[in-house]
Amino acid sequence: MEPLAPCSSLVDRFLEHLLVEKGLAQATLAAYASDLRRYVDFLAARGRETFSEEDTAVLLEYLIRLRAEGLGSRSRARHLVSLRSLYRFLLREGVLAADPAARVDPPRIPLRLPDTLSLAEVERLLNAPAGDRPAGLRDAAMLELLYAAGLRVSELTALRLQDVDLASGFVRVLGKGAKERLVPIGNPAREKIRLYLEQARARLLKGIPSPFLFVGRAGKPLSRQGFWKRLQAYARAAGIERRTTPHSLRHSFATHLLEGGADLRTVQILLGHADIATTQIYTHVSRERLKELHRRHHPRG
């Protein structure tokens, strides 16, 4: 077994492994780095300079500290995922002889159903961008595609021109972990994208070349924050009072597919989930919908 190195250098080594060998996105790497630096600071405050096979009690103490600082169960579970990944890496690399995190159970996470819009609300939202102004045509195409393909907002804003095939009705998406998937899109999305390309994109670019499909200023892709703000305005204009985010349309996409008879495996593929357990949250939504329909329409409901 190799001599134990300082915590910070081992964390750097692990992050390099995630970047080079796992190909994780920068946002995911930043989340790992933030979680692990916080843990290293916690160890340093206790006079610890490196990791150990005997860290199980320290990990439990750390999770208790996070709860005392007000972190919810989901945030604490995410921290533990980061720490488990680190300790497994150190075990594989021969830095440690045992994995102390393997004996630490994750916090119990209460079931939280995703925010889902009704079909009527989705219809009103997608029709909210009106007129023929370039930004409005772009926003209409973005909203329609977000719902049609169940995209994450980061996937939507990163799309390039060659990623959309209007003739065949497919969009190529680069998801988490740099994994590609092909997602079909319907005629409404194809028509709004075609209208945007023909009447708005060049007017927005003003002669500046750009490889991105949905552009903002200076040929750059519209930012996630910029799109989020515009979505909020359209939701208000559509009379939607509940909280509405780009993920609301992704959740609605999955829920409406299941309610329409799609199987869970198909929805998993379309969403780009690596684990079908992630997709199973939507079965709870569908069951709640079934219960509501039964209550409203059955004579003994």
Contact 14, 36 (CB under 8 A): yes
- Please determine, for residue 256, whether its predicted confidence score (pLDDT) is greater than 70: yes
Contact 100, 87 (CB under 8 A): yes
Q: How far apart are CA 153 and CA 159, in angstroms?
A: 10
Q: What is the DSSP string of the chain?
A: -PPPPPHHHHHHHHHHHIIIII---HHHHHHHHHHHHHHHHHHHTTT--S--TTTHHHHHHHHHHHHHTT--HHHHHHHHHHHHHHHHHHHHTTS-SS-GGGGPPPPPPPP-PPP---HHHHHHHHT-S-SS-HHHHHHHHHHHHHHHHT--HHHHHT-BGGGEETTTTEEEEE-GGG-EEEEE--HHHHHHHHHHHHHTHHHHHTT----BSSB-GGGPBPPHHHHHHHHHHHHHHTT--S---HHHHHHHHHHHHHHTT--HHHHHHHHT-SSHHHHTHHHHHHHHHHHHHHHHHSTT-
Query: Where exactly does CATH 1.10.150.130 map onto the chain?
Result: 7-103
Contact 77, 108 (CB under 8 A): no
- Please determine, for residue 297, whether its predicted confidence score (pLDDT) is greater than 60: no
For the chain, what is the mean pLDDT?
A: 86
**Domain spanning 119-297 has what CATH number?**
1.10.443.10
Most confident of 156-170, 207-221, 266-280: 156-170
Q: How far apart are CA 80 and CA 107, in angstroms?
A: 9
Task: pLDDT band for 124, please (50, 70, 90 cuts).
Answer: very high
What is the mean pLDDT of the segment spanning 247-263?
Answer: 86
Q: Which of 80-94, 204-218, 247-261 has the lowest mean pLDDT?
A: 247-261
pLDDT tens, residue by residue, 137-173: 999 999 999 999 999 999 999 999 999 999 989 999 9
- Please determine, for residue 105, whether its predicted confidence score (pLDDT) is greater than 50: yes
**Domain spanning 7-103 has what CATH number?**
1.10.150.130
Name which residue leads in pLDDT, 183 or 115.
183
Query: Where exactly does CATH 1.10.443.10 map onto the chain?
Result: 119-297
What is the mean pLDDT of the segment spanning 209-235?
Answer: 90
Kindly list the catalytic residues.
152, 176, 247, 250, 273, 282
pLDDT given at position 3? 52
| Percentage with pLDDT > 70 across the chain | 90
